[in-house]
Amino acid sequence: MLLTNLINNLIANASLLLVGLYIISRLTKLGVTTKLPLRRQVTISFLLAGLSIVITLHGVLWNAQADFQYGFVPIIMSALYFGLTGVRITYVASILVLPFILTETLLLIAFLDYTLAASVAVAFMWFRERIKPARDIRIVNAISLGFISLFSLLNVSNYNQAETYVMTLFAFITIGYSAGFLLHIVYGGIHKIQRSERLISKYKEAAFTDALTGLGNRRRFEEEMKRVDEEVFNGTQDVALLFLDIDHFKSINDTYGHDAGDVILVELGNRLTQTARTDDMVCRNGGEEFSVLLADCTLSQGFVIGKRYLRQIAEAPFLLPDGSLIDVTVSIGIASTSESKIATSSQLIKKADVGLYVAKRSGRNRLGKWNEKKAN
C-alpha cells in the first residue's frame, strides 16, 4: 500500500474517532462530563468501548504485524472523565471483543496498545490531585502515543520496507496527537459553554426566586401573569388566583422577633407547596403576602382548595426557634378567569386583592371574594 494511502486511511480513522465521540455526546444529550449520575457514566463507558471496537475494526492494516488505529483514545477519555469505574468498563469490554475481530498477531498489538493507554491514564490519575479531562486528554494521549511508538519501533527491523513503516508510524503519531489536541479544544470549549449556561441558569433562577423561602418571587409571579394573558385567556382552561396574607404578622414580629417571623414565613411556604399540585405555582409576593396560582381551576374549585389551606394552616401550630408553638392564621382572597368580569391578568390580580381585603375586614382567617360584602 502506498504511503499516501496509509496516511489517508489514518486520517479517516481519526475522523471516525471524532465523529463517534460527537455522536455519543449527542445521544447522551449532556456531553461527556465528570458530573454525571453513575448509571449515565456506566452507559457512556460502554458506548466508548463500542467506539473503540469500531475504530479497531477499521484500523489501518500495514501488513500482518502492524495495525495503526486510535481505538485507545476512548479508553483514555473514559478513565479521565469517569475514573477507575470508567476505564475498567471500557478497557475490559473492548478487550473481550477484540479476539473476534482481529487475527492473533494484531490482537496482541491491539491488546498492548490498549493496556499501555489504560495504564498511562490510571497512573496519570494517581499522581494528579485534580484531573481536568478537557486538558489532560491531550497530555495522556501524547504519552500513550509515545509508549506505543517505542513499543512499535522495537520491531522495525522485521519489516521489509522499514522506511515506509517509520514514515507511517510518524504519521500515526502526528495525526493521533492532532486528534487529541482537537479533543482538548472541543471538549474544553464544550465545558466552558456548559459552565456559562449553568451560571446563566443559576443567575436567572436567583432573579426569580425568593431568597428566604425558595419560592418564586414577585418577578416570577409577574412573568406567570404574562403567560396567563397569552395562554389562559385565549384558551379553554381557567385558572384561579389565591392571595394569602398572614394575620397579625407585625404583632408576631414585635412579640417573638424577626427570626421567629422568618421561620413562620418559611414554614408557611412549605405548607403551601406541599398542598399545591405540580402545575400550581406558589410565590412569595413580598413581606407576609403569598400567592398561589391554581392551574386548570374554576372559581368553585378554587374555593374548595382555599378553604383547605385555611384549615391546614390554622389547625397545626408553627414551631418557633425557641421551641415554643404559636397558632398562625391567614386571610385569603380569590378570583378566577372563569368569572365573566375578569378578562386580563391585571383584573385577576385586582379582584383577588380585593377579595383579600374583604377577608381581612370580615375578621381574618377567612376566604374572601371581590364582589362579596363578607368573607366565607
Secondary structure class of 276 (helix, strand, coil) = coil
pLDDT tens for each residue of 115-171: 988 998 888 888 877 777 777 888 888 888 888 888 777 767 666 777 777 887 788
Q: Please say if the pLDDT value at position 1 is more than 60.
A: no
Taking CA 184 as the corner, what is the angle to CA 183 and CA 188, rounded to the nearest 5 degrees? Answer: 110
**Residue 13 DSSP SS3:** helix
User: Does 3.30.70.270 match the CATH number of domain 218-369?
Assistant: yes
Helix (H, G, I), strand (E, B) or coil at 29: coil
Beta-carbon contacts of 58 under 8 Å, excluding residues fewer than 6 positions away, are: 12, 13, 16, 69
In the predicted model, what is the mean pLDDT of residues 183-192?
Answer: 71
Is the CB of residue 34 less than 8 Å from the CB of residue 81? yes
- Per mean pLDDT, which range of 24-38, 265-279, 330-344 is the poorest? 24-38
Amino acid at 109: I
Q: What digits encode the pLDDT tens for the residues 242-274?
A: 999 999 999 999 999 999 999 999 999 999 999
Q: Which phi and psi angles does 240 have, rounded to 5°? A: -120, 145
pLDDT at 341: 83
Is 303's pLDDT higher than 80?
yes
Q: In angstroms, rounded to a whole number, what is the distance separating the alpha carbons of residues 32 and 23?
A: 11
Q: Give the pLDDT of residue 39.
A: 81
Mean pLDDT on 13-25: 82
For residues 333 and 62, the model is more confident at: 333
CATH no., domain 3-206: 1.10.1760
Which ranges in 228-297 belong to alpha helices (H)? 249-256, 258-275
Res. 318: pLDDT tops 90: yes
Evaluate if residue 33 carries a pLDDT over 90.
Answer: no
Q: Give the confidence band of 85 by pLDDT, cuts at 50, 70, 90.
A: confident
- Bridge partners (DSSP) of residue 246 are 330
Q: Which amino acid is at 336?
A: S
Where does CATH 1.10.1760 sit in the chain? 3-206
Confidence of residue 91 (pLDDT cuts 50, 70, 90): very high
Considering only 188-202, 267-281, 302-316, which range has the smallest mean pLDDT? 188-202
Judged against a pLDDT cut of 60, whether residue 32 lies above it is answered with no
Residue 263: all three cell numbers together: 421561620
